[in-house]
Amino acid sequence: MIGSKKGLSEEEQKRIERIKERNRQIIDQHVQMQTEEFQSYVAQTSDHSLNFPVSKSDSVYLWDAYGNSFLDFTAGIGVNNIGNRNFVIMSKIKEQLDHYTHTMVYGEHLQLNQIEYAKAISGYFPSRDDFPQQVFFVNSGNEAIDLALKMSRKVSGKKGIVSMERGFHGRGYGAMQVTWNDNYKKGFFVDDEATVFLKPGGPIPDQYEFWGDIGTVILELVQGEAGCIPLSKIWVQKLLKIAKAHSVLVIIDEIQTGYGRTGTFLAQEQYEVEADITCLGKAGGGGLPFGAVVSSRTNFELLQTPNLSHLTTFGGNPVVMAAGLAVIEYIQEELLSHVQEMGKYLTEQVTEVAKSYPKIIKGSQGIGLMQGLILNDDEHGPEFTERFYKECLMRGLLLHFKLNNPYVLRMTPPLIISDRSIKEACDIFVDVCMELESSDN
């Protein structure tokens, strides 16, 4: 047929369309079965799973079972910092798999990956008591918080804790003691009576009557689940100065901010503060389960009385250590500068969208590539956030929610993202804003 696509006849085009439709029906059936089995056999703690049928990933994109690509603005909730299915990480994992996947860890078997990774992490921290700071590897950020709280109480001999309003440190029983949102504590009998929650930016008590029973301060420098809200640098420095004057240990939760997410390897570098105990997680495993606690040798030695006061079976797993080493070797000054540059560009682009559609978007907040997209809560209810999110998903942009702020969507793309991909995301924001404004009129 003259003028037909690629010279195909009308009959041939119809046959191709029938094949495509049949293939789609097969995929539909497979996805439906997978969804049903997921809901039947995999325990759910949410009643509205996205049921996204992911098939593969690469760089800053994910693909679904239908072959559709999605620009990934979540990076696995801040895990895949150097990109999805990074070649360097995959190579290191495969190399380790040729040797062994697990033997024994702490104090039993010497494993080079674990030693080298601990040494690399320790290099980002100042020495204490004439020794390098040490690293204890665990399996998640939640476990890191649990260990940090145990250690701080062991060191201080005090139960009292100061945490932050809007702060989030995990869903484990220990972590919930210092996590702010009461909605997630109901019915679990969480013992948080010893925790005092300060308002970030608010008054900081300096009296002994307040600090006398306090052994620990714990905080995020950028409050992730509150909507990527950076704390005031001056306020943080004042808080830590007062805490240290009362011999109170400081735990800084860098589980989301660490590994270059804010434009420096640790957010502490930008705030010009030093923690007594630092918690790491998420990105440090290159996509595998990871957590770590960094503190002084003196503090860790207290966990030897009684011996083995803290244990883990899988923490420091050699495959995870191989992946983590690849991550830390990849994060050089060039990438950190790129994160700072792309963070500014993302802020500028979102600001332009907000100027054009102020009834939909207020702007963004955060540091580096740890940012939240702020929707207009004056004009809309919380359900509008899910509507905006779904419209972005339909157009090939994957965002996600914030646990403690119903009007903010997560923007934590892989750190390797380009300005072109950021512009692609912001063009989708514009398209969604146009659609929502027209449908509301």
Q: Output the domain CATH number for residue 321.
A: 3.40.640.10
Residue 10 lies in a domain: no
Domain harbouring 366, CATH code: 3.90.1150.10
In the predicted structure, residue 106 carries a pLDDT above the cut 90: no
pLDDT in tens, 281-315: 999 999 999 999 999 999 999 999 998 889 899 99
HEC assignment per residue over the chain: CCCCHHHCCHHHHHHHHHHHHHHHHHHHHHHHHHHHHHHHHCCCCCCCCCCCCEEEEEECEEEECCCCEEEECCHHHHCCCCCECCHHHHHHHHHHHCCCCCCCCCCCCCCHHHHHHHHHHHCCCCCECCECCEEEEECCHHHHHHHHHHHHHHHHCCCEEEEECCCCCCCCHHHHCCCCCHHHCCCCCCCCCCEEEECCCCCCCCCHHHHCCEEEEEECCEECCCCCEECCHHHHHHHHHHHHHCCCEEEEECCCCCCCCCCCCCHHHHHCCCCCEEEEEHHHHCCCCCEEEEECHHHHHHHHCCCCCCCCCCCCCHHHHHHHHHHHHHCCHHHHHHHHHHHHHHHHHHHHHHHHCCCCEEEEEEECCEEEEEECCCCCCCHHHHHHHHHHHHCCEECEEECCEEEEEEECCCCCCCHHHHHHHHHHHHHHHHHHHHHHC
Q: Read off the pLDDT of each residue in 20-27 and give the average, rounded to a whole number.
A: 88
295 and 229 inside one domain? yes
Sign of CA dihedral 85, 87, 89, 93: positive
Residue 2 lies in a domain: no
In the predicted structure, residue 114 carries a pLDDT above the cut 70: yes
pLDDT band for 107, please (50, 70, 90 cuts).
low
Residue 9 lies in a domain: no
268 and 325 inside one domain? yes
Q: Which of 265, 275, 278, 271 shows the shortest CA–CA distance to 232?
A: 271
CA contacts within 13 A on the Cβ side of 16 = 8
323 and 201 inside one domain? yes
Q: What pLDDT, on a 0 to 100 scale, did the predictor assign at position 6?
A: 59
Q: Read off the pLDDT of each residue in 336-349 and give the average, rounded to a whole number.
A: 98
Q: Read off the pLDDT of each residue in 387-416 and give the average, rounded to a whole number.
A: 96
Residue 41 lies in a domain: yes
In the predicted structure, residue 1 carries a pLDDT above the cut 70: no
Q: What pLDDT, on a 0 to 100 scale, did the predictor assign at position 4?
A: 47
77 and 135 inside one domain? no
Q: Read off the pLDDT of each residue in 108-128 and give the average, rounded to a whole number.
A: 95
pLDDT band for 435, please (50, 70, 90 cuts).
very high
Choose one of 306, 330, 354: the last residue of a domain. 330
Strand partners, 400: 410
180 and 197 inside one domain? yes
Q: What pLDDT, on a 0 to 100 scale, did the predictor assign at position 315?
A: 93
195-198/134-138 β-pairing: unpaired
Structural domain count of the chain: 2
The whole domain housing 353 covers 23-81+333-440
Q: What pLDDT, on a 0 to 100 scale, did the predictor assign at position 126?
A: 97
307 and 161 inside one domain? yes
405 and 363 inside one domain? yes
In the predicted structure, residue 5 carries a pLDDT above the cut 80: no
Judging by beta carbons within 10 Å of its beta carbon (0-12, 13-18, 19+), is residue 31 exposed, middle or buried?
middle
303 and 210 inside one domain? yes
Residue 125 lies in a domain: yes
Choose one of 285, 309, 330: the last residue of a domain. 330
Strand partners, 295: 134, 277
In the predicted structure, residue 176 carries a pLDDT above the cut 60: yes
Q: CA 429, 431, 437 angle in degrees (round to 5)?
A: 95
pLDDT in tens, 346-390: 999 999 999 999 999 999 999 999 999 999 988 888 899 999 999
Q: What pLDDT, on a 0 to 100 scale, did the predictor assign at position 3?
A: 43
Rounded Cα distance, 325 and 320, in Å: 9
pLDDT in tens, 54-92: 999 999 999 999 999 999 999 999 999 999 999 999 999
* Token pair 């400081």: residue: 250
Per the prediction, the chain carries an average pLDDT of 94
Phi, psi (rounded to 5 degrees) for 123: -65, -15
Percentage, residues of the chain above pLDDT 90: 85
Q: What pLDDT, on a 0 to 100 scale, did the predictor assign at position 41?
A: 94
pLDDT in tens, 235-270: 999 999 999 999 999 999 999 999 999 999 999 999
Residue 14 lies in a domain: no
Residue 139 lies in a domain: yes
278 and 233 inside one domain? yes
Choose one of 274, 304, 330: the last residue of a domain. 330
211 and 263 inside one domain? yes
Q: Which pair of structure tokens corresponds to residue 11?
A: 């009959």
Residue 13 lies in a domain: no
Sign of CA dihedral 265, 269, 270, 275: positive
224 and 320 inside one domain? yes
344 and 297 inside one domain? no
CA contacts within 13 A on the Cβ side of 184 = 19
In the predicted structure, residue 217 carries a pLDDT above the cut 80: yes
Q: What pLDDT, on a 0 to 100 scale, did the predictor assign at position 120?
A: 98
